[in-house]
Structure 1
Amino acid sequence: MADIHPMAPEHLPRYFAGADGSDHLFTVMIFFVVGIILILGVAYFTLHAMPERMAHKGNSTQLQLISLLAMLALFTHNNIFWVVALVLAAFRPPDIVTPLNSIAQTLQNLAGRDRQ
């Protein structure tokens, strides 16, 4: 405490800047703010990628459409694209092609032609 000016009170808080210009509270707050920004950025991008992770179980056309919508939402900041991507990822589209192929195969069998 020998560095304190004679006119200064004896009870200065420890977070005040020192006479040499060092400010420990400012240094701690810089690290805190940078850490919070990094954590929020990781959380944002993790949440933003949620529809794409959900779509990996589906077919590739659906995954491509969801990825495109997610990228549009990221770059345009229109949240409706992200909501649509999330809805597409959450609900599987009905399989229309398999019954139609079965019907076509049956009709060809009835007509006497074998389908290659």
Structure 2
Amino acid sequence: MNESLHPLTPHHLPLFITAPGDIDILMVVMGIVLLMAVLFVGNIYLQLHSLPERMAHKSKKLQFEIVAVLCLLALFTHNHLFWIAGLLLALIDLPDFIAPLRSIAASVQKIAGIPPDADPTEPPETTDAATPVSDKTADGEAKEQGHA
């Protein structure tokens, strides 16, 4: 098959013009560039969208779950007010209202003569009834208590 040029075609064609049936290299390169650009911009968008959540997680805020839910709502509803609310919650440190209330409750129980409730933030004390308690006597011998 003779691929001669049309007589009116200039003899110095640019490189991106291909013959019929050949692979268009410029289109392939631009397709790859477009795919990489879409992935890059999408990654930046998702990183920016999760910014409040990462800020709240890094500073170990109490309202981390609320910020995470607001970021997800903003992502799926495209409502920017949720993202702004999440960002503000991530930046603001909420005061601790529970610790003073626990202290007040423990003081009132102490005044009333009621033994205070166990603190839920501390691990429970374990008592092992199977192990005998031993005392040292004056001569160094161990004497078991609780067993007759």
Query: 1: CA distance between counterparts of 2:19 and 2:87?
Result: 53
> If the length of structure 1 is used for normalisation, what is the TM-score?
0.83
Q: Which structure 2 residue ranges, 5 or more long, are not aligned?
A: 118-148
Q: Which structure 1 residue ranges, 5 or more long, are not aligned?
A: none
Fraction of identical pairs, as percent = 39
Query: 1: CA distance between counterparts of 2:3 and 2:93?
Result: 72
CA displacement at 1:55 relative to structure 2: 2.0
CA displacement at 1:3 relative to structure 2: 4.3
Partner of 2:127: none
Query: 2: CA distance between counterparts of 1:86 and 1:45?
Result: 15
For residues 45-99 of structure 1, give each alpha carbon's deviation from its aligned partner in whole angstroms, at most 9, with x where no partner exists.
Answer: 111111221222223xx22211211111111110000110111112121111111
| Segment of structure 1 superposing worse, 102-111 or 36-45 | 102-111
Which structure has greater strand proportion?
Answer: 2
Tell me the number of residue pairs that the alignment of Structure 1 and Structure 2 aligns: 113
Please tell me the root mean square deviation across aligned C-alpha atoms, in Å. 2.0
Query: 2: CA distance between counterparts of 1:26 and 1:63?
Result: 46
Say whether residues 1:58 and 2:61 are aligned partners.
yes
Partner of 1:35: 36
CA contact (8 A) 1:3 1:19 kept: no
Query: 1: CA distance between counterparts of 2:80 and 2:4?
Result: 56
Which structure has greater helix proportion?
Answer: 1
Query: 1: CA distance between counterparts of 2:51 and 2:69?
Result: 13
For residues 25-45 of structure 1, give each alpha carbon's deviation from its aligned partner in whole angstroms, at most 9, with x where no partner exists.
Answer: 111111111110111111111
Larger radius of gyration: 2
Partner of 2:93: 92
